[in-house]
Each structure stands twice: as structure tokens, then as C-alpha cells.
Amino acid sequence: MRSFTYERAASPQEAASAAARRPNAKFIAGGTNLLDLMKLEIETPAHLVDVNSLALDRIDPTPEGGLRIGALVRNTDLAADMRVRRDYGVLARALLAGASGQLRNRATTAGNLLQRTRCPYFYDTNQACNKREPGSGCSAVGGFSRQHAIVGASEACIATHPSDMAVAMRALDATVETIRPDGQTRTIPIAEFHRLPGDTPHIETVLEPGELITAVTLPKPVGGTQVYHKVRDRASYAFALISVAAIIHKDGTGRVALGGVAHKPWRVEAAETDMPRGAKSVTAGLLDGAKPTPENAFKLPLVERTFGAIIDEARG
Amino acid sequence: MHRASNLTITRRDMLIAGMTSAAAATALRRAEAEVAVSERGAAPPHAKVFFNVNGVERALELDTRTTLLDALREHLHLTGTKKGCDHGQCGACTVIVDGRRMNSCLSLAVMHEGGNITTIEGLGTPNNLHPMQAAFIRHDGYQCGYCTPGQICSAVAVLAELEANVPSHVTGNLTAAAELTHDELRERMSGNICRCGAYSNIVDAITEVAGRKV
């Protein structure tokens, strides 16, 4: 690990301005992903701004009937909150499908959104990776690509986003609240928060330097049967090959978002109008234009069948 | 981390060795050499942290890179907590911080200012075992024992999580309290890997302790 200076921030704006003031500064909250990457010298911040003592660890009701989740709410606490379990089941299920008990106790809501990919070529510093070292190329293209993206990828990067939580939040139309170094705040719809790789895969979100996530807000509950189905190589404690977050109403309408298929949580609202017609037709719209590799082409039928099973289950 | 600190030592040793070969290794010059190293920025940033470990207050000044795991093992000599993968994948380093289990390898020591840390040494002693330690012995919940401190810290916290109504991936009804089944324990303990494969005995040990509580 490279050495770094360290400070504890006292307020969100102070944290944002402290991070913006120094070149190569990073926020640290749970640290479960950042420290892993720092040990491998994939992340090499010169300065860490510890945000753990900021008062951003509450889940409060909003005037609109939704929930405002503080950036520092730990994954365990979010999944255990009775309002989330009752009204946003897809989110509780997604959180519980991720990582281990120890990691969920530390991992935060904001940090989960900012997780880096688990692409093995990103993790191996001997390999070319445009995300780790812009312009160096992509060893995953033409490499072992079983885990990689099938849709929305580019020639520069075929990595996937690893989060389960973010997929459920995409289905729930969450919004991300931030504060910038100058004290200005803004809200970003989750659909616009993560970027597709294009030719700048190292830029993963629309956050600006020093911009700090303060909360994630959920709109009022939408009801329906809420399911998160994660398909992975182990029954527990493994990243998704594919995952399906679905909200299905009694009349057959609903929403669906996918994990493990793209550089961001994947949702195509236009495809959801086909939901009463079943999984095949929705999946065709969702994964329209997919460009799988021979090694990950299995993800297309896997999405369709997993989604089909969810629909069958919801119909009882 | 080890690579970097070794580098520092090597550089300092080389300076000192160089002076020795020039037959000028006086104490004064050695001190000058150390100052020179520090002025060049080779001395890594340190920070102070104060926390409570197993009921004892500890004040440390550490290289900021020091993980909680390394602070416990290398600085406080509490070697019961083990380093397995050092990347949060195996759970051998599990300790309980402010009542919650976590991977001490994936947290910086300086992040735990004012924290309350319990390691395996704080749960029980050879003459006064924690019920979970006694149950692991009774049920042969280990073979080599390397993952055992992490397994036991995790298991103690799992029972607290069940009591606090924290659901898991295999909990059937999200709005009901989770039941204490083998499936629940297996899922909740999945962050603790046992290379010897003592899993079924570990589940038996935890079940016994949980049963006594009910």
C-alpha cells in the first residue's frame, strides 16, 4: 500500500472541500472495497478523508412518503430496517444477497454505489486495463470473459458493475443526493448516476471531484411483489453472474432491472410495457443490441429464464 | 504494506551500512542520516488513535496504512486474531467492533477512534471459556484451528444479529423474525471460510449455544 495522509472530516461540506483541495484525495467510509484495492495498489490515494463520523447514518421518512437513506447507513442496517423490509422488499433482498455479514456491517449505502468492478483484468496489475490505466487497452476483450458485460459495453471496456443494492435502487427509481466542495447540493436520478464505459471507462459516475454523496432517497412505496434473484457460482458470498430485480403487480405490469450484464445497473423502461406478455418479450427489449462474447452468451437465456421464474412465482 | 515498510528499512539500513564502510558510523552521523531520510519524505505519515481493546484503553501512533488487524497483532501483540487472505474474503480476521463483527483486515486502525474492540482474547480465557469457545471444543468445530478465532467471534455476533432481528438471504418472510435453522446459520457464517471443512460441527456448536439462550 502507498502511504497517505489522513484526516477525519467534521461536516459534509468540510469533507467535500478537503477532498477537492488535495490532488488524489479519496473519501473513506466502510473501506471494504477501497482498502482491498489500495493493498493491491490499484487505488493509490495520497490523502484519505474519513467521513465515518458525519451525521449521515439515519433513515428518515420524506414528505413525499418515501425514505431518505443517509450515505453512511450500513448495508446491514438498511436491510434490517422494518420499513425497507415491508415496503421495499427488492432492496432488502438485494442487500442481503451481497457480500458477507462482516462486510455488510461496514459497507455503506454511498460506498456500495461507488464499488469498483471485480473484472479480473482490472484486479491484475500485470494486465492491460483502460479502467485502471486509461489508454493501456483491455485484456478482457478476447480474454476470459465469462463474467463480463453483454450489453452497453465498448471496445475499451466490458466490465460489469458489481453492486446488488444499486440494481434494486434502479428498479425503485432512487435519487442520489450530493454536496459539492462549494456547498452546493444536487440530486441525481440513479438512472443517470452511473456511466456507460464508452472510451473513458475510468470515469464511472457523474460525480465531480470532491463531490460527496450525502443520501439516497426512495420515492413512496410502489407495492407489488418484489423479488431479487441473483444467479452466482456459489449459493452465498459470491458476485452475480446475472441478477434480476423485479416488481410485479397483480395486473402483470411492473418493473425490472438487471445486474451483472452491464457497466451499470441495467433497466430499459420501454421494455417494461411488455411485462404482461411475459419474460421472453421483455428480455428481448431489455437486451436489444446485446453483444455477448462466446463465453458469456449464456447470460441471455439465463436472464430470460430467471425473469420467467420470477413472473411464475409472483403469479403463484 | 509490508513491501513499503521493508523498503523504508532497507533504505535506512543502506545509509547506515554505507557510512560504516566509510568508517564514519558515529552515533551523531547515524542520527543525521535518519533526519535526512525523514526530510526526504521517506518517513510515512503517522496518526494517533485511541480505542478500547478487550476492556483496556490503548493509545497508539501508527503509520496511517496500519489495518486494525495489524494494529492488534503487530502493535498490541494480540495474535489470536488471524491474518488469512488479508482481503476480506476468508473471515479469519473477524473481530467485534462496537458490538458488530467485521473484517479487521479491511479497516484502518485510525478509523476506530473511540471504538470498543473485542477480539478472541476478550471473549474468554483458557480457564474461563466463553460458551461459544467451549461449544467449539465440545463439537470439534475445527481441525487446524487457524480460522477458529474468526469463526467464534463471527458466531457470537451472529447470535446477537438474530436476536436483533437482522434478516438474511435465506430468511423466508422478511417481516417476520428469522428462525434459527441450519440454513440460516450456514448463510450467516458464509463469510468465514474453513479450509479443513469443519462446517457441520461449527453449525452444531453454534446451534447448541443458541439453544441454551432460548
Return per-residue pLDDT of chain A as tens, 316 residues: 999 999 999 999 999 999 999 989 999 999 999 999 999 999 999 999 999 999 999 999 999 999 999 999 999 999 999 999 999 999 999 999 999 999 999 999 999 999 999 999 999 999 999 999 999 999 999 999 999 999 999 999 999 999 999 999 999 999 999 999 999 999 999 999 999 999 999 999 999 999 999 999 999 999 999 999 999 999 999 999 999 999 999 999 999 999 999 999 999 999 999 999 999 999 999 999 999 999 999 999 999 999 999 999 998 7
In whole angstroms, give the CA distance from residue B25 to residue B30.
7
Quick: pLDDT tens for B15-50. 444 444 443 434 444 444 444 444 455 789 999 999
Please check whether residue B201 touches A, CB under 8 A.
no
Using CA coordinates, name the residue in chain B closest to A235: B187
If you ran DSSP here, which 8-state letter would residue B71 be given?
Answer: I
Quick: pLDDT tens for B185-206. 999 999 999 999 999 999 999 9
If you ran DSSP here, which 8-state letter would residue A287 be given?
Answer: T
Q: At B135, is the secondary structure helix, strand, or coil?
A: helix
Verify whether the Cβ–Cβ distance B63 to A3 is below 8 Å.
yes
Write out the three cell numbers for B145. 484451528
B28 sits in which H/E element? helix B27-39
Q: Give the closest-approach CA distance of A1 to chain B in angstroms.
A: 5
Task: Give the pLDDT of residue A181.
Answer: 96
Contact indicator for A87, B84 with CB cutoff of 8 Å: no
Write out the three cell numbers for A96. 442481503
**β-bridge partners, B103:** B94
- Among A50, A52, A236, whose Cβ lies nearest the Cβ of B169? A236
- Model ipTM value: 0.97
Go through B128-153 and write b for each residue having 16 or more CB atoms within 10 A of its CB, e for each that does not: eebbbbebbeebebbeeebbbbbbbb
Contact indicator for A166, A176 with CB cutoff of 8 Å: no
Please count the other Cβ atoms lying within 10 Å of the Cβ belonging to residue A251.
9
**β-bridge partners, A26:** A48
Task: Give the pLDDT of residue A315.
Answer: 85
Collect all residues with Cβ–Cβ distance below 8 Å to A54 and sequence separation of at least 6.
A9, A10, A11, A12, A15, A71, A72
A257 sits in which H/E element? strand A254-259
Q: How many CB pairs lie under 8 A apart between chains A and B?
A: 112
> B-chain residues within 8 Å CB-CB of A26?
none
Task: Over range B77-88, report the average pLDDT.
Answer: 98
Please check whether residue B165 touches A, CB under 8 A.
yes
Q: Residue B154's closest CA among B184, B183, B192, B197?
A: B192
Interface test with B, best of A3, A49, A82 (most B CBs within 10 A): A3
Cα→Cα distances A193→A114, A189, A190, A212, B103, Å: 10, 6, 5, 13, 29
Is pLDDT at B214 greater than 50 in this prediction? no
Q: Give the closest-approach CA distance of B154 to chain A in angstroms.
A: 8
Task: Give the pLDDT of residue B40.
Answer: 53
For the whole model, what pTM was predicted?
0.92
In whole angstroms, give the CA distance from residue A28 to residue B21.
46
- Dihedral of CA atoms B193, B197, B199, B204 in degrees, nearest 10, equals -140
Q: Give the closest-approach CA distance of A155 to chain B in angstroms.
A: 30
Q: Give the closest-approach CA distance of A198 to chain B in angstroms.
A: 30
> Which of the two residues, A118 and B14, has the higher pLDDT score?
A118
